[in-house]
Chains A and B, each alone.
Chain A
Amino acid sequence: MLRGLYTATAGMLSQQRRHDAITNNIANLNTPGFKQSQAVTRSFPEMLIRLLKEQPGGGSTVEWGRLHSGVLAEEAIAIHIQGDLRETGNPLDFAIVSDIQVEGLVFNNGKTITPEGERVFQPQAFFTVLNADGEERYTRNGQFTVNELGQLVTAEGFQVLGLDRQPIVLVDPATQEPLSGVTVDKRGFLMHPVTGEPLTDAAGNSVGLLISRVENPNRLIPEGLGLYRIAPGEEANVAPINPDDQVQVFQGFVEGANVDPVQSVVDMMTAARLYEANQKVIQAYDRSLEKAANEVGRV
């Protein structure tokens, strides 16, 4: 078979995957804390073509050139750029503004290149929640609510963890009565909504939202429902934020999706046109094969 047929097919498939990722971004324009994903294509594997040559003393091969057997959608990278904040006035809405600095590096749009030529991604901050199986997950969607047990939970019901890695429960430390609201400062510490007294847990430590810092956000796997999990074996990537990290929690605000509608539509059009271009290549091969099958051998 003509090798190019499979290359063109691979091209169509990879543009299809790109198109799928872009439509998902568009569908999530209104999802708070959503990070747009970009499908990255890679041209591989590369094959070396060798020419079999008759030589005295045995055959040998001569390098003829390279052929790429196609392009594939390799991965979908989540772009961790800060989304815009929108004020909702709801005291249980939280937004993280994260601009974690690393010594010696200046980040631009979430990444930078070191003087040695290494690509480094900016660490990002996330809320820490517990999923239904009791495993830690990370999210930027801070639209929380309180369930009947007084626990701070996400809209899906996952418990938000505090600094002691336990679910946060809204009770007045003085009276042990449930609180209907709470005030949260920029560092994520909880306070009584009226008196301003910091809330403390049974051990007397201040109650605060557990903000996790992920060193390389690309190692996070998106699970949906706004949650990310860290790949097994890479838990060292995640730690609570340091006190001097440039991370702030805004109460009454929501972080919008970082999807740019114009860019998304242009990318979608590009993917569709490339899909069409590959389709034309397949049609051209089809006509060649048709000629070879029907006309060349005609008697």
Chain B
Amino acid sequence: MNHSMINALVGMQGLQQKLDVIANNMANLNTTGFKKKEAIFHDVLTTTMRQPETFMQPGRLTPLGLTQGWGAKISQIRTVMAQGPLKETGQPTDLAIEGDAMFEIAVPTLDENGQPTVRQAWTRDGAFTLVPRPEDAENLHLVTAQGYPVVDVNGEPVRVPVNHSIKVDPDGTIFAYDDRAPDAAPFVVGQIRLVQVLRPQMLIHMGDNAYTLPDYIDPALEQVVRQLDPNDPEVANVAVRQGFLEQSNVNVAEEMAELIAAQRAYQLNARALVSADNLMHLANTLRG
């Protein structure tokens, strides 16, 4: 009785979480740079009921002991880093990455003493803008939609002199063209830092389309993300596309199919719960 109910209950709880994950994916169908999540199931720890030696009868197949499972749970909700489709916007500050890489941004935060500091974060959302900063009258800073500065290969925020337009090469190098002197030659103002994500499952989603590392992992060790090495054949096809934005990699058809499968499995577990309840009722009405 109770065992069956627990199996059905645990199964339904796991499916409920899966439905939540699917709902989150669907809600972010149009979010730039969104990476969908998927739930991974495992069966819960199995108990083995001990059986006395007399249970070792001829014709028995398994070792002594009656194994009992306790349902299924979600082991991990993992992020799927598949490439999303690119949409052309025409905005010179809109950048999209084609391939396995991320932009690096600097998120202002407080350290353990309460002093303002900067935390490394990464994102695929390339909807950047050039904004003026009160402390820098000469340059415009390239920032994300939330105002976090985009970092260049030297670790500094990307700065473009005022009255200049930019052109970004596929490797992230930014050329500035003087608006006031159209015939003047463009010059390099920096190169956007791109990182290769080695272990996407270790990244923590901190909201606003940004990912960061857990505190126990030192970014300098380059175990999870590392600066893009142009000579590495694994990242040979990484390119930055100016004027494009990467759309969410959520596939509606797949999510609907998963939703239906999860709903039906939930229904089946509810059916099992009703059956377990029926057994308990039979036991309760054994006598009157």
* Chain A residues, Cβ within 8 Å of B72: 27-31, 34
Check A30–B62 contact: CB distance below 8 A.
Answer: no
Residues 112-149 of A, flagged 1 when their CB comes within 8 A of B and 0 if not, give 00000000010000000000000000000101011111
Check B70–A224 contact: CB distance below 8 A.
Answer: yes
Check A24–B286 contact: CB distance below 8 A.
Answer: no
A-B contact count (CB 8 A): 201
With A37-B67, A265-B271 already in contact, the answer to whether A75 and B42 are too (CB < 8 A) is no
Q: Tell me whether A85 is interfacial, beta carbon within 8 Å.
A: no
With A27-B272, A31-B41, A279-B283 already in contact, the answer to whether A178 and B198 are too (CB < 8 A) is yes
Q: Tell me whether B66 is interfacial, beta carbon within 8 Å.
A: yes
Check A272–B201 contact: CB distance below 8 A.
Answer: no
With A194-B233, A221-B48 already in contact, the answer to whether A148 and B199 are too (CB < 8 A) is yes
* Chain B residues, Cβ within 8 Å of A37: 67, 69
Check A221–B65 contact: CB distance below 8 A.
Answer: yes
Residues 225-266 of A at the B interface (beta carbon under 8 Å): 225-226, 231, 234, 261, 264-265
Q: Which of A14-22, A198-206, A291-299 contacts B (4 or more CB under 8 A)?
A: A14-22
Q: Tell me whether B252 is interfacial, beta carbon within 8 Å.
A: no
Check B18–A30 contact: CB distance below 8 A.
Answer: yes
Check A28–B69 contact: CB distance below 8 A.
Answer: yes
* Chain A residues, Cβ within 8 Å of B18: 30
Bound Cα distance A216, B267 (Å): 35
What is the predominant secondary structure among interface residues of chain A facing chain B? Answer: mixed
Check B279–A275 contact: CB distance below 8 A.
Answer: yes
Check B279–A148 contact: CB distance below 8 A.
Answer: no
Check A19–B43 contact: CB distance below 8 A.
Answer: no
With A180-B197, A218-B62, A272-B279 already in contact, the answer to whether A156 and B42 are too (CB < 8 A) is yes
Residues 185-228 of A, flagged 1 when their CB comes within 8 A of B and 0 if not, give 00000001111000000000000000000000011011111100
Q: State the Cβ distance, B55 to closest chain A Cβ, in Å.
A: 7
Check B82–A222 contact: CB distance below 8 A.
Answer: no
Check A28–B268 contact: CB distance below 8 A.
Answer: no
| Of the residues A26, A180, A221, contact of B234 by C-beta under 8 Å | A180
* Chain B residues, Cβ within 8 Å of A234: 63
* Chain A residues, Cβ within 8 Å of B279: 16, 19, 272, 275
Check A219–B62 contact: CB distance below 8 A.
Answer: yes
Check B80–A28 contact: CB distance below 8 A.
Answer: no
* Chain B residues, Cβ within 8 Å of A19: 4, 275-276, 279
Q: State the Cβ distance, A233 to closest chain B Cβ, in Å.
A: 10
* Chain A residues, Cβ within 8 Å of B229: 177
| Of the residues A17, A177, A222, contact of B232 by C-beta under 8 Å | A177
Check B7–A27 contact: CB distance below 8 A.
Answer: yes
Check A75–B71 contact: CB distance below 8 A.
Answer: no
Bound Cα distance A164, B34 (Å): 40
With A30-B15, A224-B45 already in contact, the answer to whether A275 and B282 are too (CB < 8 A) is yes
Check B261–A30 contact: CB distance below 8 A.
Answer: yes
Bound Cα distance A12, B55 (Å): 19
Q: Tell me whether B1 is interfacial, beta carbon within 8 Å.
A: yes
Residues 67-85 of B, flagged 1 when their CB comes within 8 A of A and 0 if not, give 1111110011010101000
| Of the residues B65, B68, B71, B197, contact of A27 by C-beta under 8 Å | B71
| Of the residues B3, B76, B265, contact of A145 by C-beta under 8 Å | B76
| Of the residues A24, A30, A148, contact of B41 by C-beta under 8 Å | A30
Bound Cα distance A63, B71 (Å): 48
- Which residue in chain A gives the minimum CB-CB distance to B222? A178
Q: Tell me whether B224 is interfacial, beta carbon within 8 Å.
A: yes
Residues 106-138 of B at the A interface (beta carbon under 8 Å): none
Q: Tell me whether B105 is interfacial, beta carbon within 8 Å.
A: no
Q: State the Cβ distance, A264 to closest chain B Cβ, in Å.
A: 8
Q: Tell me whether B242 is interfacial, beta carbon within 8 Å.
A: no
Check B272–A268 contact: CB distance below 8 A.
Answer: yes
With A265-B271, A279-B283 already in contact, the answer to whether A75 and B66 are too (CB < 8 A) is yes
Bound Cα distance A42, B61 (Å): 12
- Going nearest first, the 8 A-B pairs with the smallest beta carbon separation are A27-B11, A224-B45, A24-B69, A224-B46, A27-B71, A23-B7, A155-B75, A231-B63
**29 A–B contacts from the bound complex (CB under 8 Å):** A12-B283, A16-B279, A23-B7, A23-B272, A23-B275, A28-B11, A28-B69, A28-B71, A30-B72, A31-B41, A34-B43, A39-B66, A42-B57, A45-B54, A75-B66, A141-B42, A145-B76, A155-B76, A221-B63, A221-B65, A222-B43, A222-B46, A224-B45, A224-B46, A224-B69, A265-B268, A279-B282, A282-B286, A286-B286
